[in-house]
Amino acid sequence: MTEVLDTDYDNRIIRVQTGRTNISVTGAVEEDGFFYAPDPSSQLACAIAGNIAMNSGGAHCLKYGVTTNNLLGVTMVLMDGTVVEIGGAHLDNAGYDLLGLICGSEGQLGVVTEATLRILRKPEGARPVLIGYDSNEVAGQCVSDIIKAGVLPVAIEFMDRPCIRATEAFAHAGYPDCEALLIVEVEGSDAEIDAQLGVISQIARKHNPVELRESRSAEESARIWLGRKSAFGAMGQINDYMCLDGTIPVSALPRVLRRIGEMSKDYGLDVGNVFHAGDGNMHPLILFNANTPGDLEKCEAFGADILKLCVEVGGCLTGEHGVGIEKRDLMGTQFSDEDMVVQMRVKDVFDPDWLLNPAKVFPLSASESHRAAQSEVAA
Amino acid sequence: MLSPRDERDVSAAVAAAEGPLRIFGGATRQIGNTVVGEGLCTAGLAGIELYEPGALTIVASAGTPLAEIEAVLAAENQRLPFEPSDMRGLLGTSGDPTIGGVVAANVSGPRRIQAGACRDSLIGVRFVDGRGTVIKNGGRVMKNVTGYDLVKLMAGSYGTLGVLTEVAFKVLPGVETRASVLISGLTDAQAVAAMSQALGSPFEVSGAAHLPIGEVGLPLTMLRLEGFADSVAYRAGKLTELLSGAGEISVETDPERVRAMWQELRDVAPFHGRAGDVWRVSVKPSDGPGIAARTGGELFYDWGGGLIWVLLPEGTDLRARLGDFAGHATLIRSSVENKARFSVFQPEPAPVAALCAGLRRQFDPKGILNPGVMG
């Protein structure tokens, strides 16, 4: 199911079958100057159906939002085989926002076969500025000051020293050897970009950066993005790694990075941090050796501790990868039993026999006792 | 009437309720069917719990006046992205609109087409379900797929799934200035085509509306630009160039006049003090003119043609005139009898209606939360 069913530039929508990859949605409209905004790093491979199931985002969601903000309608097969249309080419719903409920439900409510997506006209241009700091606190403060100044960058990316060093050794992007690196990208005409980068650079200078490099051309932009885009590959060169996906309030960044550093020493495992700083979505990469007995278990325990920390500072377990099986047993750190029961009751409505991805999202102990209670009521 | 002071009070009141509850905040947006039951006013749950301008995040108790939220944001040059309307002028209500009411009705103004609806900025809720249980969902971060997204479900559910006690939003920076590119003399179809062209351009239009009868009696098409002054001037020039074939174009650059004209549109001012029923129709923009012609009423367009506000003689069955169409029509203002007769909200296909009824039973098994308000 990979076809484009309708492309409608007047109404700025595209309708696709949901097996189509994320990047090929943009691919279908980019010659005409349009794009589909959510751009998860896995966009070469990931399907729109999966994006809907996980409410995927990407680097640009500070400005453009995540999947749920760009999804207008779906065709969904319900558990009894009924096919329903929810939403469509118009905006908002007549009754309850079922579209919002389906998005991010990890395939537990029905099978989405077609989707109507919002497409946007490409901006005239985009260019980043690279800013290096000697402290995570200062970098975090700079992000906060940029946002407070009224500029809305399309992306604010953050990398810490372990990540900078690894990518530098791998991709030779010319990054400074510093504690924290920011890549801030803005969009518009050349003059608009210059003006916004001017405001950002002025703010950045007040915090005494060790490096500040405004891109003046497509080549310079590509060079600035090179390291960030090869970060996962670079870390993979060093060792096996596990990528996490917790989200934190941006203000908690320095505290969280400090604590991750301490935990890294305790566990004896290195970690590099790549972070969508504009929206708080962290992707810590924990390095381990799959051939060393016990390393994977240690890595998983470390990962769980980082996710608990994300919740403790006011964030969440997963920003865009989903709970799945891996994180289901951590749900209790974020939600009370009652919070989870209400969610499980939603599943009861759509899938009374719990046949769709039944083992995902909820701890098995919780879903089993909930279902036992339900069947008692029914009996 | 029940006037809870905090979430625990709400929980106790709902748990103890034996009959229907009529839940409201400021009672300024009485849009659904009339609910007969004991009043439960959330205005006592007021106050901003957390505001972090550097993280673009605000969290407030549901009864907090909208005006207070907007003032606190404005002091930091920030704003709610979705431009919530004030329905007092249209509905003849008084009182203070609350942020919980805005969420319960998923209110969004002209900026909906660029920045999304209320539900798109809403990132967390706390509510009391029909059993009296306190539930939280979402949080205070904008990227979150931990468990089901009940945040979106609560937006626009008019209090039928739970009593909102706290809401959290992603906000946006305010703007340095704004301008409107104005085109006069277009037919509805020409106007929607021009708006589509503008919205399909890279010039970040944040409002696109068409009044078939504008201030001076001629059709007026309005396109709004917001941002830094140089950028707004640049984009106004580009849009004027792009639409040069469309009609007589001018640019309104007085930010105060621009603000006022979009506020009037947002609040449906053209129908203030006018007798008759008011309908709100959401369609695919290019379908707008055809659908509009079938209404037989006085009307204007927002959302690039995708939202049509219609004024009709009292008791007109608009849905009968429209027949089958892709979209939905909501009866925003009418008599109690007509609201009950026509159903305020567009009836949904049976399988979808069954899912909604199933959700209502799960969240409110006693059927006490604003029963019947959505039909």
Closest B-chain CA to A77: B351
Find the residue in A nearest to B75 (Cα).
A148
Of all helices (H) and strands (E), which one includes residue B308?
strand B307-312
CATH of the domain at B222: 3.30.70.260
Nearest CA to B364 out of B127, B39, B144, B120 is that of: B127
> Whats the size of chain A, residue-wise?
379
Rounded to an integer, what distance in angstroms lies between the CA atom of residue B101 and that of residue B45?
12
Residue-wise pLDDT for B267-308, tens only, equals 999 999 999 999 999 999 999 999 999 999 999 999 999 999
Regarding whether B302 and B207 lie in a shared domain, the answer is: no
Of A98, A319, A349, the CB nearest to B144: A319
* Residue of chain A with shortest Cα separation from B351: A84
- Give pLDDT, residue A253: 87
Q: Are residues B247 and B335 in the same domain?
A: no
In a domain, B23, yes or no: yes
**Which residues are within 8 A (CB) of B336 and not within 5 positions of it... i.e. 6 or more apart?**
B33, B34
Partners of residue B113 in chain A, C-beta under 8 Å = 91
Q: Which two tokens stand for residue B254?
A: 């007085």
Question: In this predicted complex, what is the ipTM?
Answer: 0.96
Q: What is the pLDDT of residue A251?
A: 86
**A-B contacts (CB, under 8 Å):** 260
Closest to A179 in 3D by CA, of A199, A162, A196: A162
Could you say which of B214, B244, B266 is where a domain stops?
B266
Q: What pairing do the DSSP bridges indicate for beta strands B57-61 and B78-79?
A: unpaired
B333 within domain boundaries? yes
Which of B121, B144, B173 terminates a domain? The answer is B173
Domains identified in chain B, total number? 3
Best CA proximity match to B189, nearest among B308, B271, B359, B305:
B305
Query: Do A12 and B76 make contact, defined as CB atoms within 8 angstroms?
Result: no
Say whether A147 and B54 touch across the interface (CB within 8 A): yes
Q: Which residues of B touch A280 (CB under 8 A)?
A: 55, 141-143
Q: Are residues B207 and B278 in the same domain?
A: no
Selected for mutation to probe chain B from A63, A91, A283, A313 (highest B CB count within 10 Å) is A91
Do B153 and B248 share a domain, yes or no? Answer: no
Contact residues on chain B for A322, CB-CB shorter than 8 A: 145
Q: Domain of B162?
A: 7-173
Q: Is A346 helix (H, G, I), strand (E, B) or coil?
A: helix
Is B347 a member of any domain? no
Helices (H), A149-184: 161-171
| Helix pair angle (A337-350, B350-363), 10° resolution | 160
- CB-nearest to A319 from B145, B201, B345 is B145
Residues of chain A in contact with residue B161, where contact means CB-CB under 8 angstroms, are 96
The helix/strand/coil state of B331 is strand
A-interface mutation test, from B52, B112, B114, B148, most A Cβ less than 10 A away: B148
Residue B126 lies in a domain: yes
For tokens 């558990």, name the residue: A79
Q: Which of B361, B15, B271 is nearest to A346 (CA)?
A: B361
Sort residue A241 into left (φ over 0), alpha (ψ -120 to 50) or beta: beta
Q: Are A92 and B156 in contact (CB under 8 A)?
A: yes
Query: Would the CB atoms of B234 and A192 count as touching at under 8 Å?
Result: yes
What is the reported pLDDT for A41? 82
Same structural domain for residues B144 and B15? yes
A195:B201 CB<8 A: no
Examine the fold and report which residue of B218, B234, B266 is the final residue of a domain before the chain moves on: B266
Task: Please give the pLDDT value at position A374.
Answer: 85
Question: Which residue in A has a C-alpha nearest to residue B54's C-alpha?
Answer: A144
Please indicate whether, in this complex, the C-beta atoms of B54 and A189 are within 8 angstroms of each other: no
In terms of domains, do B54 and B167 share one? yes
**Measured between alpha carbons, how far is A138 from A179 in angstroms, rounded to an integer?**
10
Same domain, B183 and B252: yes
CA distance B326 to chain A (A): 7
Per-residue pLDDT tens over the stretch A178-208: 999 999 999 999 999 999 999 999 999 999 9
Report how far residue B326's alpha carbon sits from residue B291's, in angstroms, rounded to the nearest whole number.
10
CA of B283 vs chain A CAs: smallest distance (Å): 5
Is the residue at B255 inside a domain?
yes
d(CA A48, CA B35): 41
Both structure tokens of A129: 């500025």
Chain A CA closest to residue B330: A94
- B261 lies in the same domain as B316: no
In a domain? residue B185: yes
Provide the 10 A C-beta neighbour count for residue B37: 16
The reported pTM is 0.96
Check A57 against B136: CB less than 8 A apart: no
Q: Which residue has the tokens 């029923």?
A: B277
Q: Tell me phi and psi for residue A2, to 5 degrees.
A: -125, 10
| Amino acid occupying residue A375 | S
Among B112, B231, B306, beta carbon nearest to A192:
B231
Residues B309 and B252 in one domain: no
> Are B235 and B310 found together in one domain?
no
Q: In what order do the strands lie in the sheet with A71-77?
A: A4-8, A13-17, A111-118, A71-77, A83-87
Q: What values do phi and psi take at A191, rounded to 5?
A: -65, -40
Show pLDDT as tens, one digit a residue, over chain B (375 residues): 999 999 999 999 999 999 999 999 999 998 899 899 999 999 999 999 999 999 999 999 999 999 999 999 999 999 999 999 999 999 999 999 999 999 999 999 999 999 999 999 999 999 999 999 999 999 999 999 999 999 999 999 999 999 999 999 999 999 999 999 999 999 999 999 999 999 999 999 999 999 999 888 899 999 999 999 999 999 999 999 999 988 899 999 999 999 999 999 999 999 999 999 999 999 999 999 999 999 999 999 999 999 999 999 999 999 999 999 999 999 999 999 999 999 999 999 999 999 999 999 999 999 999 999 998
Contact A130, A182 (CB under 8 A): yes
Residues 6 or more apart whose Cβ sits within 8 Å of residue A64: A37, A38, A70, A120, A154
Is B363 among the domain residues? no
The pLDDT, as a whole number, for residue B216 is: 83
Q: Minimal CA–CA distance to A122: which of A284, A265, A9, A6?
A: A9
Strand pairing of B248-252 and B205-211? unpaired
Under DSSP, the state recorded for B37 is S
Q: Which residues contact B52 (CB under 8 A, 6 or more apart)?
A: A249, A250, A251, B58
One pLDDT digit (tens) per residue for chain A, 379 residues:
999 999 999 999 999 999 999 999 999 999 999 999 999 888 889 999 999 999 998 888 889 999 999 999 999 999 999 999 999 999 998 899 999 999 999 999 999 999 999 999 999 999 999 999 999 889 989 998 998 888 889 999 999 999 999 999 988 989 999 999 999 999 999 999 999 999 999 999 999 999 999 999 999 999 999 988 888 888 888 889 999 999 999 889 889 999 999 999 999 999 999 888 888 999 999 999 999 999 999 999 999 999 999 999 999 999 999 999 999 999 999 999 999 999 999 999 999 999 999 999 999 999 999 999 888 877 7
Q: Domain for residue B160, yes or no? A: yes
Residue B167 sits in a domain whose CATH number is 3.30.465.10
Q: Are residues B198 and B336 in the same domain?
A: no
Residue B81 contacts residue B116 (beta carbons within 8 Å): yes
Tokens (6 digits) for B296 = 């037989």
Same domain, B189 and B283: no
Beta-carbon separation of B348 and A84 below 8 A: no
